[in-house]
Amino acid sequence: MLRNFIRSNNIYGLFKPFLPAQGSNIITAEYYANKLLLNKTTPATILDLGCGTGNSIDFFSSINPEIKWFGVDIEGSPEGKLRKRTDGNFKTYDGINLPYDDNFFDFIYSHQVLEHVRHPDDLLKDVFRILKPGGYFTGSVSYLEPYHSFSIYNFTPYGLLVSLTDAGFQPKELRSGIDGPTLILRQLFNAPQKLQFLFNRASLFNFTVNISGFIFRLSHREKNFLKLQFAGQICFLAEKSCSLSE
């Protein structure tokens, strides 16, 4: 019954090409970076868009110490003000115009940044400009996550597809990060930092979807669709197609 309901839903047909069929666990923004860069033999040039404290240097170095890391953030960002490290190639920008040449980066990573950007569509067009043909843009954005840290916008799954496509990207995958109900509870109880890991890993909602998927024999793609509808954060993967950039 649940499977028939999902498959008869026009929205499912819209998102089906972007829903993975091989797994349906919730993921984080780091998932696609690990997947695409872990076994890459030539060093990649990557940009952390909205790098804040710059701690992603450690994450990317753990994937491949030869990765060429760059980080950019707006002048005076709250997270940037907390930065103490000096071992990265840090720059600031005006929120739209990125200080890099055309076709400069192999990989651009953006972890929970675009909801804080005043003009995200304009920024996405400049992200497209500085990414090499065949390069990937990946990260996560807020959907049903409550207001936090001067956030301005939340993206619906459809809105994210539209923004990426309008900027010139070819969206490849959309997948649920931590779910909305869990993020709402986390904010409601004002969970202290030391308990954040409980909310990041434990999710009654996703457990319920997994059990329902087992009972109704749902595919991974169908479970991904259900989780995406109630995602607090959406993880995405998009490509700058070689043919589109010619």
Per-residue model confidence (pLDDT) at position 179: 93
State the Cα–Cα distance between residues 143 and 153, nearest whole angstrom: 9
Does residue 246 lie within any of the structural domains? Answer: no
Q: What is the CATH number of the domain that holds 52?
A: 3.40.50.150
Does residue 16 lie within any of the structural domains? Answer: yes
State the Cα–Cα distance between residues 114 and 211, nearest whole angstrom: 33
Number of domains in the chain: 1
Does residue 201 lie within any of the structural domains? Answer: yes
Question: Which portions of the chain are predicted below pLDDT 50?
Answer: 244-246
Does residue 245 lie within any of the structural domains? Answer: no
For residue 167, give its domain range: 2-240
Which of 195, 190, 227, 197 lies closest to 211, judged by CA? 227
Global pTM reads: 0.92
Measured from the Cβ of residue 123, the count of other Cβ atoms closer than 10 Å reads 24
Does residue 128 lie within any of the structural domains? Answer: yes
Per-residue model confidence (pLDDT) at position 196: 59
Which of 232, 224, 137, 139 lies closest to 181, judged by CA? 232
Which of 115, 111, 76 lies closest to 92, judged by CA? 76
Per-residue model confidence (pLDDT) at position 38: 87
Packing angle of the helix pair 120-130, 157-166 (nearest 10 deg):
50
* 197-216 pLDDT tens trace: 555 556 778 889 999 999 99
Quick one: CA dihedral 179, 180, 181, 183, positive or negative? positive
What length is written for the chain?
Answer: 246
